[in-house]
Amino acid sequence: MKRFFIRTFGCQMNVYDSERVSAMLTARGWTNVPEASSADIIIINSCSVRDKPLQKLFSCSGRFLPLVRKKGVKIFIMGCVAQQLGKEIIEKAPYISGVFGPGAEDMIPDVIEKGLFPFVSNSTDLLEREEIFPVDSKGNFFEQYTSSITVMHGCNNFCSYCIVPYVRGKEVSRKASSILEEIDILISRGVIEVTLLGQNVNSYKDPVTGMDFTELLYEAAKKPGLERIRFMTSHPKDFNEDLAAAFRNIPSLMPHLHLPAQSGSDRVLGMMNRKYSTVEYLSKIELARKHCPDIALSSDFIVGFPGETEKDFDKTLELINTADYDVIFAFAYSPRPGTAASQIADTVPEDEKASRLNAVLELQRKKIRKVRGRYLGRTVKVLVEKESPKSGTLMGRNEHNLLTHIIDATDADRGRIIDVRIDEILENTLRGKKNENS
Ligand code: SF4
């Protein structure tokens, strides 16, 4: 039996890419095993967006080195670090057999089966390469009832702190027909919720028909059996009225919008090359709430960007106070080699970054009671997915994408969307009981 093991770091796009590779290998008779120790090949899907990506990659691959020596296991690296470093990875760690940048993963099965080692491909030229979504990778899913689908790769925005445009290349959209076909396959396998993924979905454009992202949402919503649609991520500069109106017009489009602000200071936003001001950002939130008053908002923030003063940081706190987010993800700035921001001196001391990060998280903790108070006593609809690893109760996401524990749900509820009355607001989750009629 041919066995493979995949270890995935980073974002949902990486999880999705790992699933595609897994599907391609499975279609060729390989078996996905949960432990590296019983695999013949090990694939590490790397991420360079967050902290210490290189150390993480090499310490992870180094842990597998005894398997290479004793059992002849082959190790392959895919993802953003593979793109960024290419053959340098093999120069630093010659026990690695192959390096595949984003978009080159479809070559993995052939490289493995033909023994083309060592192999390096970190081309970002994905244009016209619809085969980066080969038929045997379509319709795979990593949860039973929900799935993500990548609608586009890459990004043209070049935010000054971000490595994505360098490692994932320029924006390339998939054909809508290919995306819709994948949705059909997923539905036939029992999926009822899909999340359409892209670094900046607002830039989506079908390379053949010119269909834009909002039109794609309307087309996806016509699919019988698809009960829920979500998407991420929207760049605030491109979020527009048409997309906001889709939240009102498409009943299956769930009321959650991830709109990363990154900072509340126009000066810092300028240095980040985000191409919007705080006033413009808030106007996009207003637009979303005009069409969908109950929409849940989430956002990303970076604190301690080079040159960020106390005054700039106070404006970030002000924005968080004003926007009323359901969820925020905040990070202390750290430079990514190769980005424009990495050329600027990292002026904010680390302890100051840590204290700003704490201040953001503390503010959000305080705000959660107020913002999520609106769910208390209310009946929400939850797609029951799986058991909580901690409490063992069944859980799933409500319409607003909040993880909800249902204390009296049973196995018969799995895969169903049920009414749940919320009795408790916890720091990261909601908790409630089934509504008797559901
Ligand atoms: S929009 Fe900016 S932060 Fe997002 S992927 Fe593109 S460059 Fe990176």
Residue 244 maps to which CATH number?
Answer: 3.30.750.210
Task: Tell me if 128 is assigned to some domain.
Answer: no
**200 Cβ inside 6 Å of ligand 1:** yes
One domain, residues 388 and 333:
no
pLDDT of 338 over the 90 cut: no
The pLDDT, as a whole number, for residue 106 is 73
pLDDT in tens, 410-424: 999 999 999 999 999
Instruction: Find the angle CA(192)-CA(243)-CA(237) to the nearest 5 degrees.
Output: 125
Residue 187 CA to residue 206 CA, distance in Å, equals: 22
**158 Cβ inside 6 Å of ligand 1:** yes
One domain, residues 84 and 41:
yes
The pLDDT, as a whole number, for residue 313 is 97
Q: How far is the CA of 406 from the centre of ligand 1 (A)?
A: 36
- Please state the pTM of the whole predicted model: 0.79
Contact yes or no for 115/2 (Cβ under 8 A): no
**162 Cβ inside 6 Å of ligand 1:** yes
Place of tokens 């493995």: 112
One domain, residues 333 and 395:
no
Q: What is the mean pLDDT of residues 313-319?
A: 98
The domain that contains 7 carries what CATH number?
3.40.50.12160
Contact yes or no for 46/122 (Cβ under 8 A): no
Q: 197 pairs with which residues across the strands?
A: 150, 232
**398 Cβ inside 6 Å of ligand 1:** no
The tally of domains found in the chain comes to 4
Full residue range of the structural domain in which residue 225 is found: 138-254
Contact yes or no for 160/307 (Cβ under 8 A): no
**160 Cβ inside 6 Å of ligand 1:** no
From the list 37, 54, 47, the residue with the least C-alpha distance to 15 is 47
Q: How far is the CA of 337 from the centre of ligand 1 (A)?
A: 15
Residue 394 CA to residue 400 CA, distance in Å, equals: 18
**156 Cβ inside 6 Å of ligand 1:** no
Q: For a substitution probing ligand 1, which of 162, 235, 259 has the most ligand atoms within 8 Å of its CB?
A: 162
Instruction: Find the angle CA(198)-CA(199)-CA(202) to the nearest 5 degrees.
Output: 75
Residue 71 CA to residue 428 CA, distance in Å, equals: 43
The pLDDT, as a whole number, for residue 436 is 65
Which DSSP category does 229 fall into? E
Task: Tell me if 222 is assigned to some domain.
Answer: yes
One domain, residues 336 and 415:
no
The pLDDT, as a whole number, for residue 169 is 77
Q: How far is the CA of 280 from the centre of ligand 1 (A)?
A: 18
Which DSSP category does 288 fall into? H
Q: Which atom number of ligand 1 is nearest to the Cα of residue 262?
A: 3
